[in-house]
């Protein structure tokens, strides 16, 4: 019987592998700044109150467990699209979007990638910002697309390379796909300003590019869900018929429940019906229909006025704690005696911070201080608390002085 002796051991996932290494460490001062899962100020996982309340409401109804439709829970997809686009958006009233429930953000991106691979005749190329979330690359590649990049992060400023981005985008061949992070860019935390988004929209339009927005952090970036969705809504207003991935992992803390949405903004409702039928044909042989529990929770929150209000408060609270940690980290670095400019830690937005640490410095921080992060110097701000921010500042100072 032919065996699998030739099969290689694959490398561990760079992001999730950090948590695995962290777990093995016995140092009581260890810090896990790897995966982007929110922690409260005691470093504990945080289940939102609105989620607990929603779960209680759902449990009381004793609902059945019948299969959802292939495209997911109807009330969920409706509320999901409304959250992203705004309840009064012309796209929604004309019915020219198709929104399907997906297995969180990853599942949404992969459905989109598969859809592009099968139906986008214009180009095989997907342009990612440099850098982008590590998993974007295998998602599109395994779906049969080719990856290219446009300049985005400027290491010399730890900020946005606006000129470089515009230059690169202006050379992208027509009908290529361009992926944009809607807010709270992962891994850098560097977002374009509204005026910069406007110029990006113009050049993307000139180049006739197909826009794919990845919005994994709506509400988490600024604390305001409408503000964080500004770029998505602006692009749609400007006539871009976009693809959009949404995740509720972070903004509702529904991580392991796997709640997300994938939207195609179409020319009209007739086109959206055709697209919907093909999405279903694509989804059915991957997982048939999506998991119900998280979608029920998200829908209950979005559609129950007092829970929605509570949710908005809690998202605001999470975003605020992160902003506070940014400020405390910079204060701590100054206090430790660091002479470097750490302004970018405060200017960057969302869950992550691109520290600017080099791989050797990251390695020292891990080996000597048991501070775990990804090799690119990205830290998850959520993993920092008022209790350990000082320790982190000392560690970062020690490896950078």
Q: Minimal distance in Å, beta carbon 40 to its own copies?
A: 11
3 state DSSP class of 371: strand
Q: Which is nearer to its own copies, 81 or 158 (CB)?
A: 81
Q: Minimal distance in Å, beta carbon 52 to its own copies?
A: 8
Alpha-carbon distance values, 70 to 1, 281, 299, 322, 395 (Å): 39, 9, 17, 37, 49
Catalytic residue among 161, 168, 214, 228: 214
Size of the site for its own copies (CB under 8 A): 85
Q: Which is nearer to its own copies, 266 or 399 (CB)?
A: 266
8 Å CB contact between 184 and 349: yes
Q: Minimal distance in Å, beta carbon 191 to its own copies?
A: 23
Q: Tell me if residue 133 is catalytic.
A: yes
Helices (H), 288-382: 292-303, 305-336, 343-347, 359-369
Q: Tell me if residue 230 is catalytic.
A: no
Of 288-327, which residues contact its own copies (CB under 8 A)?
A: 288-294
With CB under 8 A as the contact rule, the residue among 157, 241, 303, 304 that binds its own copies is 241
Q: Which is nearer to its own copies, 47 or 166 (CB)?
A: 47
Give the H or E element holding residue 271: helix 269-287
Q: Minimal distance in Å, beta carbon 149 to its own copies?
A: 18
Of 69-108, which residues contact its own copies (CB under 8 A)?
A: 69-70, 103-104, 106-107
The tokens for 174 are 């027509």
What secondary structure letter does DSSP report for 382?
G
Of 362-401, which residues contact its own copies (CB under 8 A)?
A: none
Residues in the chain: 401
**Binding of its own copies at residue 37 (CB under 8 A)?**
yes
Q: Which is nearer to its own copies, 229 or 275 (CB)?
A: 275
**Binding of its own copies at residue 60 (CB under 8 A)?**
no
CB-based contacts of 69, cutoff 8 Å, min separation 6: 289
Q: Which CB contacts under 8 angstroms, 24+ apart, belong to 280-283?
A: 280/70, 280/71, 280/100, 282/111, 282/114, 282/115, 282/118, 283/70, 283/71, 283/100, 283/111
Q: Which residues pair with 261 in a beta bridge?
A: 101, 246
**In whole angstroms, what is the distance from residue 291 CA to residue 259 CA?**
8
**In whole angstroms, what is the distance from residue 397 CA to residue 401 CA?**
6
**In whole angstroms, what is the distance from residue 112 CA to residue 245 CA?**
8
Q: Which is nearer to its own copies, 62 or 339 (CB)?
A: 62
Catalytic residue among 133, 197, 311, 342: 133
Of 113-142, which residues contact its own copies (CB under 8 A)?
A: 119-122, 135, 138-139, 141-142
Q: Which is nearer to its own copies, 35 or 373 (CB)?
A: 35
Q: Tell me if residue 197 is catalytic.
A: no
Of 140-199, which residues contact its own copies (CB under 8 A)?
A: 141-142, 174-175
8 Å CB contact between 345 and 353: yes
Q: Which is nearer to its own copies, 342 or 352 (CB)?
A: 352
Q: Minimal distance in Å, beta carbon 51 to its own copies?
A: 8
Q: Minimal distance in Å, beta carbon 114 to its own copies?
A: 8
Task: With contacts defined by CB under 8 A, name the span among 64-72, 223-231, 317-325, 385-393 that binds its own copies.
Answer: 64-72
Q: φ and ψ at 214, to 5 degrees?
A: -110, 110
Of 259-288, which residues contact its own copies (CB under 8 A)?
A: 264, 266-267, 271, 273-275, 277-278, 280-282, 284-288
**Binding of its own copies at residue 35 (CB under 8 A)?**
yes
**In whole angstroms, what is the distance from residue 378 CA to residue 26 CA?**
23
8 Å CB contact between 401 and 357: no
The count of other CB atoms within 10 Å of the CB of residue 165 is 22
Q: Which is nearer to its own copies, 20 or 368 (CB)?
A: 20
Q: Minimal distance in Å, beta carbon 291 to its own copies?
A: 4
With CB under 8 A as the contact rule, the residue among 82, 89, 238, 361 that binds its own copies is 238
Q: Minimal distance in Å, beta carbon 148 to its own copies?
A: 18
The tokens for 28 are 């009581």
Binding mask 347-366 for its own copies (x = CB under 8 A): --------------------
8 Å CB contact between 117 and 335: no
Catalytic residues: 133, 214, 250
């Amino acid at each position: 019987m032919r065996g699998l002796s030739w099969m290689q051991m694959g490398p561990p996932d760079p992001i999730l592998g950090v948590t695995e290494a962290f777990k093995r460490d016995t140092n009581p001062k260890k810090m896990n700044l790897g995966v982007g899962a929110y922690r409260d100020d005691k470093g504990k996982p945080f289940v939102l109150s609105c989620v607990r309340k929603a779960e209680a409401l759902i449990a009381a109804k004793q609902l059945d467990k019948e299969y959802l439709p292939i495209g997911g829970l109807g009330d969920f997809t409706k509320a999901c699209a409304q959250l992203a686009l705004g309840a009064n958006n012309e796209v929604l009233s004309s019915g020219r979007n198709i929104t399907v429930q997906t297995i969180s953000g990853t599942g949404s991106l992969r459905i989109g990638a598969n859809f592009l691979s099968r139906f986008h005749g214009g180009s095989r190329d997907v342009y990612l910002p440099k850098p982008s979330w590590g998993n974007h690359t295998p998602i599109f590649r395994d779906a049969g697309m080719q990856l290219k990049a446009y300049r985005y992060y400027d290491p010399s400023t730890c900020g946005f390379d606006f000129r470089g981005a515009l230059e690169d985008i202006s050379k992208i061949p027509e009908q290529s796909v361009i992926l944009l992070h809607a807010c709270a860019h992962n891994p850098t935390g560097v977002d374009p300003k509204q005026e910069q988004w406007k110029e990006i929209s113009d050049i993307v339009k000139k180049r006739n590019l197909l826009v794919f927005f990845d919005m994994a952090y709506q509400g988490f970036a600024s604390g305001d869900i409408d503000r964080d969705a500004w770029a998505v809504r602006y692009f749609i207003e400007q006539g871009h018929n976009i693809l959009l991935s949404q995740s509720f992992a972070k903004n509702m803390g529904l991580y392991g429940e796997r709640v997300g949405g994938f939207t195609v903004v179409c020319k009209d409702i007739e086109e959206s019906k055709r697209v919907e039928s093909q999405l279903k044909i694509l989804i059915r042989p991957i997982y048939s229909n999506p998991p119900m529990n998280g979608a029920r929770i998200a829908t209950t929150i979005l559609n129950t006025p007092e829970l929605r209000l509570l949710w908005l408060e809690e998202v605001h609270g999470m975003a605020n704690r992160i902003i506070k940690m940014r400020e405390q980290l910079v204060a701590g670095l100054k206090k430790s005696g660091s002479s470097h400019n750490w302004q970018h830690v405060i200017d960057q937005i969302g869950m992550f911070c691109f520290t600017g640490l080099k791989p050797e410095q990251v390695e020292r921080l891990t080996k000597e201080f048991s501070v775990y992060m990804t090799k690119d110097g990205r830290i998850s701000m959520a993993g920092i608390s008022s209790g350990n921010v000082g320790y982190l500042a000392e560690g970062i100072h020690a490896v950078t002085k």
